[in-house]
Amino acid sequence: MIHFSYGSTQDMSSLFYVYYYLWAAPHLLLVPVALLMFRKSLHKTFPIFFSYLIFEILQFCVLLPMHVVYMMHLNIFPLRMYPTVDLVGRTGSIILHFAVLQELFESPVAHNSELRRTSARMLKWVTGILVVVSLLFLGSLYYGTIGHRMVPAYATLEALNIAQCGVLVLVFLWHRYLGVTMSPLAFGIGLGMGVTACSEPLIHAWKDSLATRNSGLPDDFVFAAFHVAALIWLYFAYAQKEITSNSGSTLQVREWAADAGRVAHL
């Protein structure tokens, strides 16, 4: 999750509390998501997503106290330490996002090591191409904009987020091509990732526009998007078992299998 510090001169206004609420609430929501996954043994099906949840929770536990100390200018640790830890956290989040998308992409063939290796290889190539295309796309956008003769440092981050959107589209289309219905949690993970991935480039650009450069509103919007994602994950982690248990009645299988049996004679 990406977060930005407000200016140190900002008053303790209601916006300040909204900011902390929006930062804390989604991370706290991740705790029941992780617990539900663990209780339903879903951490074995989606180990990387489970690790991502744990990473986000731990990152929050480290960053929040550091941020408070940083804002209050207390000399507990060097002031430059917070941005460094924040950067490490962002980098870890992005790497884990791509790993989760790979996990989703491979999930239809999770039981077949050969097909899994093949699909992993395919995805790595496509991801590489998407990252390069996104970097070129954003580079040309910023370079062509009046007042931006240099590409902003966070353009790489935006490009990676756009590439994530591309990979996510691929994940959904891949399931469609294979004819595999995504499990409720896999669908939820994809949706949640989509909400965060598509909001972040937009917010970066919004922050970059002159009118809102000093506003904290875009940051709140990023947190709100993550809030929505956490709620989606919570819902689908809860819904996973109930949806699957309603499917696959013998009558249904008999009807479908009779159809499928026809394939052999067509």
Residues making contact with other proteins (CB under 8 A): 108-109, 111-112, 115, 118, 141-142, 144-145, 148, 158, 162, 165, 169, 172, 177-182, 187, 190-191, 194-195, 197-199, 201-202, 204-206, 208-210, 244, 247-250, 252-266
Q: 84 or 112, CB closer to other proteins?
A: 112
Separation of alpha carbons 42 and 238, rounded Å: 11
Structure tokens at 173: 């289309």
Per the listing, tokens 């970097």 go with 135
Q: 63 or 229, CB closer to other proteins?
A: 229
N-terminal to C-terminal alpha carbon distance within the chain: 52
Per the listing, tokens 């009779």 go with 258
For residue 235, give the nearest of 97, 75, 39, 32 by alpha carbon.
32
Query: Shortest distance, CB of residue 61 to other proteins, whole angstroms?
Result: 30
Q: 99 or 109, CB closer to other proteins?
A: 109
Query: Shortest distance, CB of residue 172 to other proteins, whole angstroms?
Result: 5
Query: Shortest distance, CB of residue 11 to other proteins, whole angstroms?
Result: 28
Specify the DSSP class assigned to residue 11.
-
Q: 72 or 251, CB closer to other proteins?
A: 251
Query: What is the gyration radius of the CA atoms in the chain, in angstroms?
Result: 21
* Burial profile 131-145: b = 16 or more Cβ within 10 angstroms, e = fewer: beebbeebeeebeee
Q: 34 or 160, CB closer to other proteins?
A: 160
Q: 84 or 209, CB closer to other proteins?
A: 209
Query: Shortest distance, CB of residue 94 to other proteins, whole angstroms?
Result: 17
Query: Shortest distance, CB of residue 75 to other proteins, whole angstroms?
Result: 39
Contact 155, 142 (CB under 8 A): yes
Taking CB atoms within 8 Å and a gap of at least 24, the contacts of 7-13 are 7/214, 8/71, 8/73, 10/216
* Phi, psi of 199, deg, nearest 5: -80, -35
Query: Shortest distance, CB of residue 164 to other proteins, whole angstroms?
Result: 10
